């Protein structure tokens, strides 16, 4: 349990809306049980938010974010009131600790709070704590690995307040990278042998940053973030063609772009993106014990920029694909498949949050 607030990283048996709040948009996904078993995509929505409403993971303008979430909920027409939200990894302290096996829930809470004081630099009363028992250590099983998660109360409460402003109840407050891991696991479960033993690199390319997460057997083994995203395209349109940022964003969405866009803006952006991904992989190899990556997935709204996928595959010489978190799911009749193909890579975290209602 999280002490006094919705739980981090726990499954919820009730229907949930997976709500991903990023600097550029609010993304909402609702999944349900598919006919005949499995998981189905019931509905989803993406709503843009004004620049400055969310900065470095902090919600600076809650009314603006709540208005975008309200618009998304209206479009979806969902009656589900339970919500799963996520904290950015930068706002969370996560540590693996070892504790004696067989303690009561209350004893684990006491031990976790005692351990947390070793890692947290601010008063413990200003923090929301949670923990998850991961499993026994070694054959003797007299100790267990425990994941300790902590975040400032005010940052958690900001997200809970957004949900409440929209008539929702925050049931789960997760960590973005853990939620994304669920979506990645869902995708890799559809690969031969569930991709066991494969090292998989997922590049989440958003509007402002690209986050690399490397997975091995459904566990994150490496994370790194760099400042590269779709905002560069917007800035180049403004700089080269005298547009306002708002006009540039509209032209990106409509495809009504200047004649020189392909050669003057898009091609350099694609080349820079592929080069950054290649360099980040090299950093991964030189700073860890890993010497290979078996496959690359691109996610995030900027991953669908024309030519980027092909450029990454050519530069890295590795199997590269878009991460489509709804692959194999049953789609509700109201879901437009063609639009979903464009939107799906941006919905990785929201999908992972919605998956919290299924499975362990």
Longest Cα separation, the chain:
68
Q: Looking at the chain, how many residues does it have? A: 360
**Measured distance CA(130)–CA(105) in Å, rounded:** 12
Task: Give the other-Cβ count within 10 Å of 282's Cβ.
Answer: 11
CATH class of 17-90+153-188+328-357: alpha beta
Radius of gyration of the chain (CA): 21
Question: Where do the H-state alpha helices sit in the chain?
Answer: 62-76, 105-116, 153-165, 176-188, 231-241, 245-254, 261, 267-287, 308-316, 337-343, 348-354
The position carrying tokens 């049953």 is 330
pLDDT tens track for 23-41: 989 999 999 998 888 899 9
What does the DSSP assignment read for 19-56?
EEE-SSEEEEEEEEEPTTSSEEEEEEEEEE--TTSEET
Q: Which residues contact 171 (CB under 8 A, 6 or more apart)?
A: 6, 7, 12, 14, 16, 82, 83, 84
Q: Which of 66-75, 235-244, 249-258 has the lowest mean pLDDT?
A: 249-258
The pLDDT of residue 65 is above 80 = yes
Give the residue extent of every domain in the chain.
Answer: 17-90+153-188+328-357, 192-322
CA 276 to chain centre: 20
The pLDDT of residue 2 is above 90 = no
pTM for this one? 0.87
Tokens of 297: 């997935």
Model pLDDT, residue 31: 95
CATH classification of 192-322, choosing from 3.30.420.40, 3.30.300.30, 3.40.50.720, 3.30.565.10?
3.30.420.40
pLDDT tens track for 110-151: 888 888 888 777 788 888 888 888 888 766 678 888 888 888
Q: Rounded to whole angstroms, what are the CA distances from 115 to 110, 130, 145, 224?
A: 9, 12, 13, 26
Q: Is 51 exposed, middle or buried (0-12, 13-18, 19+ CB in 10 A)?
A: middle
pLDDT tens track for 76-111: 999 999 999 999 888 888 888 888 888 888 898 888
- Helix orientation angle between 245-254 and 231-241, rounded to the nearest 10 degrees: 110
Tokens of 42: 């019931």
- Helix orientation angle between 308-316 and 267-287, rounded to the nearest 10 degrees: 40
Phi, psi of 329 (to 5 degrees): -80, 150
CA 43 to chain centre: 18
């Amino acid at each position: 349990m999280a002490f006094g607030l919705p739980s981090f990283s726990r499954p919820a048996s009730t229907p949930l809306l997976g709500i991903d709040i990023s600097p550029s948009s609010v993304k909402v996904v609702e999944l349900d049980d598919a006919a005949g078993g499995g998981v189905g995509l019931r509905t989803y929505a993406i709503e843009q938010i004004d620049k400055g409403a969310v900065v470095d993971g902090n919600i600076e303008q809650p009314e603006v974010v709540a208005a975008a979430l309200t618009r998304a909920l209206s479009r979806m027409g969902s009656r589900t009131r339970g919500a799963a939200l996520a904290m950015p990894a930068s706002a969370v302290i996560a540590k693996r600790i070892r504790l004696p096996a067989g303690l009561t829930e209350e004893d684990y809470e006491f031990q976790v709070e005692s351990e947390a004081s070793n890692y947290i630099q601010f008063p413990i009363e200003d923090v929301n704590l949670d923990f998850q028992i991961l499993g026994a250590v070694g054959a003797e099983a007299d100790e267990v690995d425990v994941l300790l998660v902590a975040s400032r109360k005010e940052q958690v409460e900001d997200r809970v307040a957004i949900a409440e402003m929209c008539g929702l109840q925050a049931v789960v407050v997760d960590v973005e990278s853990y939620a994304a891991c669920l979506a990645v696991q869902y995708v890799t479960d559809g690969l031969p042998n569930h991709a066991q033993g494969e090292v998989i690199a997922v590049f989440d390319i958003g509007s402002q940053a690209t986050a690399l997460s490397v997975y091995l057997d459904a566990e994150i083994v490496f994370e790194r973030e760099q400042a590269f995203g779709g905002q560069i395209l917007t800035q180049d349109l403004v700089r080269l063609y005298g547009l306002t940022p708002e006009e540039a964003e509209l032209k990106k969405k409509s495809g009504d772009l200047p004649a020189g866009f392909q050669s003057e803006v898009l091609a350099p952006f694609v080349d820079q993106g592929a080069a950054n991904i290649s360099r980040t992989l090299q950093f991964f190899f030189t700073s860890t014990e890993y010497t290979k990556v078996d496959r690359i997935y691109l996610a995030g709204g900027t991953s669908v920029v024309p030519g980027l996928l092909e450029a990454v595959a050519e530069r890295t010489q590795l199997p590269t694909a878009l991460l489509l978190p709804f692959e194999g799911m049953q789609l509700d009749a109201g879901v437009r498949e063609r639009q979903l193909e464009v939107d799906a890579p941006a919905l990785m975290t929201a999908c992972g949050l919605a998956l919290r209602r299924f499975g362990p």
